[in-house]
Amino acid sequence: MIQYKAPLKDIHFLVNEVFHFQHHYPSLPGGSEASPDMVEAILAEAARFSEEVLAPLYQSGDEGCVWQDGQVTTPKGFKEAYEQYREGGWQGMSAPVEYGGQGLPLSLGVIKSEMIGTANWVWGMYPGLSMGAMNTIYMHGSEQQKQTFLLPLTEGHWMGTMCLTEPQCGTDLGQVKTKAEPNDDGSYRITGTKIFISSGEHDLTDQIIHIVLARLPNAPKGTKGISLFIVPKYNVNEDGSLADRNAVSCGSIEEKMGIHGSSTCVMNFDGAKGFLIGPENKGLMCMFTFMNTARIGTSIQGVGAAELSFQNALPYARDRRSMRSLSGTKSPDQVADALIVHPDVRRMLLTQKAIAEGGRAMLYHAARLADFMMAAHRRGDTAGYEAYDDKLGFLTPILKAFLTELGYEAANHGVQVYGGHGFIKEWGMEQIVRDAQISKLYEGTTGVQALDLLGRKILLGKMKSFNEFRAEVSQFIATHQNRKEMKPLIRQLKRYMLQWRINTFRIAFKAARNRDMVGSASVDYLMYSGYIAMAFFWAQMADAAYTGLKVNAVDKDFYQAKIQTAEFYFDRMLPRAKSHGKMMLKDPKSLMQMEDAHFMLS
């Protein structure tokens, strides 16, 4: 059976010793409420809820949802867990006070979501989708829309969804056909079908607020003609109570490879009443608020898959006995030595550990940037908001794609550690793999994220955000290159950073002559960038661990393990970047020269 224990020691290490959130929070509007004692209490309670309430529902939730006559029933225990979540005020923890939230920093919400998502990603998708709806309404909705829809969403009485995909289009939203026709009262009639809608219908709350892309009459073709609408499951009276059922229904739920406990719905809008959010024909721009929220959230799944698989592979590797160590018997009183003594098993375990802890550091850094971004928004500082949005925008495709690719790899290592037992359902390791696979697909596949990074953020952005990140790393290198313990890591980081810059210029030069170069290089470029970026965060953790060794004798083993994992990452994982670097510079000829018809085998 899958077990989960919140990695609070590692979380506190990042919060207090690497990123120093105790100094960061007082600089934020309302951040003084996030005192060290308050933060510790929140993390402890989030850990308890995740371990005791959500983790036991993970494997049983794999039985899936049930659809009947348009109604969806979630797995046993999901609704009761959500009631505890809502009563605990978790949904509005980082939401603005004026709209029912507690006003705590966004980064605290990310840490909470990481624990929830690792314990039970499938359950966590339901309130996670609501967070995206809340952010979209907060950023782009009118004051009336905020009062009507945002308040009950923040309080957790209602939940939300994101409705983009249609049968004929997924990533290419320029093909959206759903129509929005104006009513006399200022509302709109929304007509069309959306597919793959997570949490589109369920029994956790009565009301569901759908954020829907649709086209107004005579709208421009393509993405320039898409608008965004709020479409409630139930119409809402002026006093906020629920009125009659809106003309939106769930036609079916999908039978999926994984995340069975998440209701993935076909949603039919048959002239449903909706309300325009944001400007006409600017729906995609507004929807990116939701999508970026979801992409950061999806990166949590990559970290969570690595952490959960590692937590369960490690005790198995310690207990399971097979063969003798190549360097000599380690347990002569036992029939065989433990799996963990074998180098290849240690390779898999250390890879899982490096991915989980390195990914967590990247995630918390991004959450810190989000804190600054939202603080600027609340102050009305447009320039500050855009500056931090650019910084976060550069990291978002790396977080979403790189961490989910590595999280899936880590989940597979967990199955491999178990051997044949890993393939058997009762152990739960194969479920982590099945559930993790979707993380590489939704909110844009790895290929889509790679095009966003290389095409938009690097080439069209003229390397602005890349240079800002490089400057941050360079400052760290300059500050720490003379620290004796850090020199081996700093020398490598410095070389890789220099090569990253040179190779980016090389791709830009090649792409100017052949646009297919962008598509052929993009995924390798993203993975290359991800490995180097994670090296920066492992260097920061190693530096903090060396400091910890000098001042904290109690946690000596923890700090030593952190340093040794950093050394493993630089020695065994960072070199992967070199192969991606070679491939991304190759001419696209061998990819593009074959005629379409020649792909057929006969």
Q: What is the pLDDT of residues 57-103, one digit of tens each?
A: 999 999 999 999 999 999 999 999 999 999 999 999 999 999 999 99
Neighbours of 510 (CB within 10 A): 19
pTM recorded for the entire structure: 0.97
pLDDT tens-digit profile of 534-553? 999 999 999 999 999 999 87
pLDDT of residue 296: 78
Long-range residue pairs from 451-456, CB within 8 A, at least 24 positions apart, any chain: 451/518, 451/519, 451/522, 452/396, 452/397, 453/394, 453/397, 453/398, 453/401, 453/522, 453/525, 453/526, 453/529, 454/507, 454/518, 454/521, 454/522, 454/525, 454/526, 455/518, 455/522
Q: What is the pLDDT of residue 602?
A: 66
Which position has the token pair 């057929």? 600
Specify the pLDDT at position 291.
Answer: 67
Q: What is the DSSP string of 89-104?
A: T-TTTTS-GGGT----
Tell whether the model's pLDDT for residue 110 goes beyond 70. Answer: yes
Instruction: Report residue 29's pLDDT band, with 50, 70 and 90 as the boundaries.
Output: confident
Q: How confident is the model at residue 174 (pLDDT cuts 50, 70, 90)?
A: confident
Structure confidence by residue, pLDDT tens digits, 303-356: 999 999 999 999 999 999 999 999 999 999 999 999 999 999 999 999 999 999
Given a cut of 90, is residue 284 above it in pLDDT?
no
Span of 162-171, 406-415, 513-522, 568-577 with lowest mean pLDDT: 162-171
Tell whether the model's pLDDT for residue 601 goes beyond 80: no
- The proportion of the chain whose per-residue pLDDT surpasses 70, expressed as a percent, equals 99
Q: Please give the Cα distance from 64 to 254 (Å, whole number).
A: 10
Res. 502: pLDDT tops 90: yes
Contacts made by residues 546-551, CB under 8 angstroms, sequence distance 24+: 546/483, 546/485, 546/486, 547/17, 548/13, 548/17
Question: What is the end-to-end Cα distance of the chain in Å, rounded?
Answer: 47
Q: In whole angstroms, give the CA distance from residue 85 to residue 50.
A: 10
Amino acid 266: pLDDT: 98
pLDDT computed for residue 361 by the predictor: 98
Question: Where in the sequence of the chain do the CATH 1.20.140.10 domains occur?
Answer: 285-445
- Residue 52 and residue 180: Cα distance in Å, rounded? 45
Q: What's the rounded Cα separation, in Å, for the pair 543 and 361?
A: 13
CB 66 within 8 A of CB 250: no
Question: H helices of 265-401, where?
Answer: 283-319, 343-379, 382-397
Instruction: With beta carbons less than 8 A apart as the criterion, state whether 308 and 427 touch.
Output: no
pLDDT tier at 290, thresholds 50, 70, 90 = low
Per-residue pLDDT at 122: 98
Which residue, 245, 247, 209, is CA-closest to 229?
A: 209
* Residue range 129-151: mean pLDDT, rounded: 94
Catalogue the active-site residues: 443
For residue 262, which amino acid is it?
A: S
pLDDT level of residue 294 (50, 70, 90 thresholds): low
Of the pLDDT bands very low, low, confident and very high (cuts 50, 70, 90), residue 472 is very high
pLDDT in tens, 209-238: 999 999 999 999 998 999 999 999 999 999
Question: Encoding tokens for residue 254?
Answer: 């999908």
Residues 356 and 556: their CA atoms lie apart, in Å, by: 21
- Compute the mean pLDDT over every residue in the chain, rounded to the nearest whole number: 95
**Fold (topology level) of 285-445:** Butyryl-CoA Dehydrogenase, subunit A; domain 3 (1.20.140)
Determine the Cα–Cα distance for residues 484 and 175; give it in Å rounded to an integer: 57
> How many CB atoms are closer than 10 A to CB 585?
17
CA–CA dist 186, 274 (Å, integer)? 9
